[in-house]
Structure 1
Amino acid sequence: MKRHSTWLRPLLALCALLLPFAAPAAPTAPEAERLLVLSYHDIRDDVARKGDPDLYAVSTQNFAAHLDWLDGQGYHPVSLSQVIEASKGGRPLPPRPVLLTFDDGLRSVYTRVFPLLQAYGYPALVAVVTDWVDLPAGRTVDYGPRPFTRDDFLTWAQIREMQESGLVEIASHTNDLHHGVLSNPQGNSTPAAVTRIYDPATKRYETEDQYLARIRSDLERSVQLIRTHTGRAPRAIVWPYAAYNSVISRIADSLGMTVSFDLEGRNTPVQPDLHGMARLLVTGNPTVVELANILRSDPDPVRIRALQIDLDAVYDDDPAQIERNLDALVERVKKIGPNRIFLQAFADPDGNGSADALYFPNRFMPMRADLYNRVAWQLRTRAGAEVYAWLPVLGYEPADPRQREEWAIRSPEADGIFRLDFTRPEVRRFIAGIYEDLAANSYMDGLLFHDDAYLRDVELPQFLPGQTEARTQALIDFTLELRDAAQRWRPKLKMVRNLYARPVLEPESQAWFAQRLDMFNHAYDYTALMAMPWMEGARDPERWLDRLVEAVRVHDPELRQTVFELQTVDWNRRQPIPGKRLKAQTRRLIAQGVRHLAWYPDDFIADRPSTADARAALSARTFPYAEE
């Protein structure tokens, strides 16, 4: 993993702050079978106690103290071979197993780490970028705080010596994928392993075949170099920047690298599938006390603070105005400090709730502009928020009039969103392909399924009268298909789905929506409940919200999965809700135990609600302060 190049430093600094405190994985295995994996990089004698230019460097003194503390606390360092054996049902791992990993193939692994491993008798996994080993004289690598030369990286002779000791196993960190590549016409660079490269000369992206051929060639080269110089092919791959997908994972599998690591969480149950194993990224040169506090404390539970953003408001016919709008959005998000952005990935210029076009390259609908990926990446790297792609489930308006006519849901309701009949196989392929193309061409942490995913009891006659739960489940199953299509290119996506308030307050109205909170909470990570009293015609909005909280508790007693999404505009009167009232509503909800809050729309152009009010209401910071 990690760094060099300025394009990824903001993202990686954010990961360093967030990942050690991410929510632990669900308890799927006994403690003795859960593996703690620590991810280190450079180990130097001269690392500053705080504020070192290299966030990923750990001092030799602190690293030695880490090893001593692990030994004293009953941790048992294990080798990759032991992990693989245990995963196949062989000898189980000892209590409190820990795997030490070192990324990038830095010289300090030989000069500082290896002597300590020998002294303690601890095994480790060293992941090398083979293109950086025995770096030619005169060539440098932009490695964060300064350009690194051949003296900063391992040599093949040093790698052989460590491997022959029996303590160190060598993994691939790819041959030459530890950098960014051009990902869109606006000039963004994103991780080479997961990006279809954009060629400004031809104004085209890599095809899927070209992309996969590039990845295969790189991994084959890495495996060949490691085998040639050490006599053993690698069994594990550490994807640079923890960026990978299921398709390139299968390429790695075919080359013998059936174990892989990312940076989500801190430990993993040892089971037959060893893909995407969690690692704790060690950053900020922690003392042994600080490391102990991280490992001993339960991470704080996530409390979502989200803005739902219209990409239609960023778009403009003038590219220069798009850039000004994007800067305004990013600066506002930085000042407010939410931890989630629900970002529109479809174009709806007529505001009817269905997609006329898309904001990413795809095979199925017009692309209004190649905009989603750029905005999502800027929000992630510059503003530090996780980005969830917000897309319709059924609400697409095909450019082909014949398809539009044949595929439409026939409804007697004139005021509904235009939707496609998802029971038709050709429609399922059409929409799943859109989700796959989004994931293949764009950055995202999760998906927000739009509020178009409803089904009236008078629609789609193949569902018999009274089959309300069957219609609800059919829509859920379809969204899971869409998730699977996206996860081909973006693994471990979180899922959120919009839910109207009426099925919660009036359960009998499920027949009119095919939506139900308990079924949603079983299927998705979170449900974004449209807590919008003015939209529902409530005479007393605050009392209406109180009733909604109590109704939600019936299905979500601790309010762990329900995001209360407020409205910032009274669309009936076309007036904004005063910021003071929105702040009071968020405080009222929090006082009743609500954990997760969002609102829509967020007018970043007109600064409505004001940045000060938005920061007070929806900042995820411990203390929402104004950043100068």
Structure 2
Amino acid sequence: MTLPARLLLALLLALAAGAAAAADELLVLSYHDIRDDVPIGGDPDAYAVSTQNFAAHLDWLHGHGYRPVSLSQVVDAAQGRGQLPDKAVLLTFDDGLRSVYTHAFPLLRAYGYPALVAVITGWVDLPAGGEVDYGPRPFGHEDFVTWAQLREMRESGLVEIASHSHDLHRGLPSNPQGNSTPAAITRLYDATARRYETEDEYRARVHADLARSVELIRANTGAAPRSIVWPYAAYNSVANAIAGELGMTVSFDLEGRNTAIAAGRHGADLHGLARLLVMDNPEVFDLAYELRHDPEQTSMRALQIDLDMVHDDDPAQAARNLDALIERVKRISPSHVFLQAFADPDGNGSADALYFPNRFLPMRADLFNRVAWQLRTRAGVEVYAWLPVLGYELSDPQVRAAFAIDSREPDGIFRLDFTRPEVRRIVTGIYEDLAVNSYFEGLLFHDDAYLRDTELAAFAPEQPEARTRALIDFTLELKEAAERWRPKLKTVRNLYARPVLEPQSQAWFAQRLDLFNAAYDHTALMAMPWMEGSAHPERWLDRLVAAVRVHDPQLTQTVFELQTVDWDRGRPIDGARLKAHVRRLIAQGVRHLAWYPDDFVADLPPLEDAREAMSARSFPYEER
């Protein structure tokens, strides 16, 4: 950005500053290392911020009406003993690096800003010769804050000490392949015993770690911590409950940037407070943009990917497939990946097995968590688990037949009768097992969630809305089951095009766009003209956009999911034509786009076309 443009942006932001945030909105900023020598770009530590830029942040916040608050003020507001000021901001510092004392603390005193310092107690006063693999280089004793420095900061009245765990800031083996995921949420895989940690063992391990951290902070600073900042922002409701039992009734993640704090709305539950991660050494202009732009306006670009294409009985080939997938996703740079979590080798739309440890179906391979975590960390995308709602082919033929929906359609997807308590227990258990064993940020409910007007005697044929709402309620139960282990999940549900284009067909599917958009974060509309037999795909897409606008006028919730394969003719859709469809939809105001399938093995659609069509970057061409 040129200097005049930067100055113009700063002026516009300053003019916008008059629109104050809601009085009960808390902004939390997450910092790590504050150093003098951080360049504008290219520092090995992406989380380091220069002292100069940090001081400029404080000055900008002060000058634009942000009011610093302490954790005590946040707790008081949640418990009805006060109210947060307009544009309240809380500063947090993770990892307990020495610079929080040498560089940040003097500036906090100068500006009168309170802060929360979250320390890994196993790293405080690291013994001489001890090292921590911190990323850019090994960190030693001189890189971490001491207990004496923590006491001094706490006794100033400006700084409160939080736990960042004792020894959970690391990965643990989570599958037979030896992949590591965050210790606070991982069911440890014991390669020697060839088994996973039980829930009781997991609880005991997390409790012991947090109890050790609480005791060290209390003994060395004179006050036990009231809050936990989860390493890598990875946590679940069970871990939060353990922290609460130990007196840490406040917890923080990195989901979003603001949280409503008001007695009666948020109540006294202060687990999972949002924070904005400050990284890449932002200048004031960059920080101001982050605080002013509306993240809800960000467009989605999603690839829906078959994990069946990654799986191979040969581990070496599976590893090559995974590398090819990660490389393609990195180069396309979508915002999201909808990743298959079930095995469907016969392609009939229902699950024959699952790609995660579970109690109900065979596990084809412990693959989902491995791929999802690498997509998140190596390719930088949000991963949504794509899973059936009803389509599970249970191993016992008699049980499968007894629990199946008696359908008259010979070519439909096999589905279980969700009105039966036994089926609800099985499917909610599958979603819970997925969340126990995997890291993901949302759920895509498969297109198997439909009901014909001739199916299930519990619903009268003339009651299509009752069937639609019953299926919606069931999917929300599944989300709730998963959220016990994966909080704050986003939801997307597949929707066929016919109920949108032909409203009278809603009775045939038990699907309605308006009800879906009210229940889920997004609806993934299957904008697939060849699948629907259209002889004029472009005109068909135009009609679909017009029909969607009736229920979603600004097109804020509907994801238009294109097909990349003409399944009837067994051939891929030309990449140039797909790009033209994307441009056509965007020209009509469509904001969210996806496609299926994305074939990373055959490079279809071709990488150059895929990048132009599905990149979430503002400049969707490969940097050279």
The match for 1:456 is 452
Deviation at 1:46, TM superposition (A): 2.0
Aligned-partner Cα distance in 2 for 1:258–1:73: 31
Q: 1:65 aligns with which of 37, 56, 80?
A: 56
Matched, 1:398 2:394: yes
2 CA distance for matches of 1:339 and 1:92?
37
Report Cα offsets for 1:253-281 as digits up to 9, x if no partner: 11111111111222211132211111121
- Tell me, in whole angstroms, the C-alpha distance in 2 between the residues paired with 1:621 and 1:294: 16
Post-superposition offset of 1:627: 4.6
Deviations 1:103-161 (A, max 9, x none): 11111112222222222322111111111111111111111211111111111111111
Equivalences for residues 103-502 of structure 1 within 5 A: 103-271=94-262, 272=267, 273-299=269-295, 301-502=297-498
Instruction: Give how far 1:295 is off.
Output: 2.6
CA displacement, residues 383-424 of structure 1 (integer Å, 9 cap, x when unaligned): 222111111000000001221011000111111111000000
- Deviations 1:547-601 (CA, angstroms, capped at 9, x unpaired): 1111110001111111111111111121221112111111111111111111111
- What is the deviation of 1:100? 1.3
Provide the rounded CA distance (Å) in 1 between the counterparts of 2:580 and 2:40.
Answer: 42
| C-alpha separation in 1, matches of 2:433 and 2:274 | 27
CA distance in 2, matches of 1:487, 1:60: 39
Which deviates more from structure 2 when the two are superposed, residues 294-303 or residues 552-561? 294-303
Aligned AA (2:121): T
- Using structure 1 for the length normalisation, give the TM-score: 0.93
Aligned counterparts of 1:310 and 1:49: Cα–Cα separation in 2? 40
How far apart are 1:466 and its partner, in Å?
Answer: 0.8
SS of the residue aligned with 2:202? helix
CA contact (8 A) 1:260 1:274 kept: yes
- Cα distance, 1:121–1:332 mapped onto 2, change above 3 Å: closer
Moved more, 417-426 or 291-300: 291-300
User: Take 2:475 and 2:228, find their aligned partners in 1: how far apart are those partners?
Assistant: 31
Match of 1:44 in 2: 35
Q: Residues 393 and 207 (structure 1 numbering): CA distance in 2 closer, same or farther, change over 3 Å? A: same
- Secondary structure at the aligned position of 1:193 is classed as coil
Contact preservation (8 Å) 1:308, 1:602? yes
Give the superposition deviation at 1:546: 0.8
Unpaired segments ≥5 residues, structure 1:
1-28
Cα distance, 1:49–1:626 mapped onto 2, change above 3 Å: closer
The question of whether the paired residues in 2 share the 8 Å contact of 1:58 and 1:284 is answered with: yes
Q: Runs of 5+ in structure 2 lacking a partner? A: 1-19
Which residue in 2 is equivalent to 1:572? 568
Distance 2:430 2:304 in 1: 21
Q: Deviations over 1:277-301 (max 9, x none)?
A: 1112111222334333433444472
Range with bigger deviation, 294-303 or 110-119: 294-303
Task: Give the aligned residue type for 2:202.
Answer: Y
Deviations 1:323-372 (A, max 9, x none): 11112211111222211111111111111111010111111100011111
Partner letter of residue 343 of structure 2? Answer: A
Q: Deviations over 1:181-232 (max 9, x none)?
A: 1111222211111111111112211111111111011111111111111221
How far apart, in 1, do the equivalents of 2:362 and 2:317 lie?
A: 22
The AA in structure 1 aligned to 2:62 is: D
Q: Which residue of 2 aligns with 1:533?
A: 529
2:577 corresponds to which of 576, 581, 585: 581
1:90 aligns with 2:81: yes
The worse-fitting range, judged by mean Cα deviation, of 552-561 and 32-41 is: 32-41
Please tell me whether residue 616 in structure 1 is matched to residue 612 in structure 2.
yes
Alpha-carbon contact 1:380-1:386 (below 8 Å) kept: yes
C-alpha RMSD over aligned residues: 1.5
Cα deviation for residue 488 of structure 1 reads 0.7
- Number of equivalences: 600
Amino acid at match of 2:430: I
Task: Please say if residues 104 and 128 of structure 1, whose CA atoms lie closer than 8 Å, have aligned partners that are also in contact.
Answer: yes
Indicate conservation of the 8 Å contact 1:335/1:627, yes or no.
no
Distance 1:449 1:234, change over 3 A: same
Does the residue aligned with 1:194 lie in a helix, a strand or coil?
A: coil
- Render the CA deviation track for 1:494-520: whole Å, top value 9, x for unaligned: 101000111001111111100000000
Task: Give the direction of change, closer, same or farther, for the CA distance of 1:290–1:528 in structure 2 (3 Å limit).
Answer: closer
Deviation of the 1:606 alpha carbon: 1.3
Deviations 1:37-58 (A, max 9, x none): 1111111222223222222112
Structure 1 residue 598 and structure 2 residue 589: aligned? no
